[in-house]
Amino acid sequence: MKPESTGKSIALAALYFLFGTIITTWFIARKAWLYDSVELMILSGSIAGAKWAIQLLAALILLRAQRWVFIKNIGLVCLIGSAALLIYYFLPERWGFNTLVISVACSVLIMIFLYYRAVKQSALSMYWFWSWIVCLLIAITLQLTVVFDVI
């Protein structure tokens, strides 16, 4: 990878993750009524961010040549997944809580597809895809048990 390509990948990755984080944080804050406390709202955002942090850390430690291309690719997945949450605002309010469930489900499904594509485009092992799926399942389980006390 050429140095300018690495620099461009780093810059794009930073922008993608920054804007993904901003959108997700804004979305969570706008849904404060869902949370029993501010602490649980912060925990919810932290869980969402942790699945990305784990993948970033793993990529920085374990990958070499394709490190920044992969990080840029998953940064775009993060951004698009965060933007997909905004589907919520285009669905009828009369659907109530289901509107939130649908928007989160759409976001997750889009991210799964795009993460798979990011792994393929980066020419990495499917281990990366499945490790993210495990992180995603853990994050969803934590959200449903610790944050929302649903299960």
Buried/exposed 82-121: b ≥16 CB within 10 Å, e otherwise: bbbbebbeeeeeeeeeebbeebbebbbebbbebbbebbee
> Domain of 20?
3-147
pLDDT at 77: 98
pLDDT in tens, 48-79: 999 999 999 999 999 988 899 999 999 999 99
Please tell me the pTM assigned to this model.
Answer: 0.90
The CA-based dihedral angle spanning residues 40, 133, 10, 63, taken in that order and rounded to the nearest 10 degrees: 130
CB 60 within 8 A of CB 70: no
Tokens coding 73: 């690719």
pLDDT in tens, 44-56: 999 999 999 999 9
How many domains would you assign to the chain?
Answer: 1
pLDDT at 1: 46
pLDDT at 74: 97
pLDDT at 19: 98
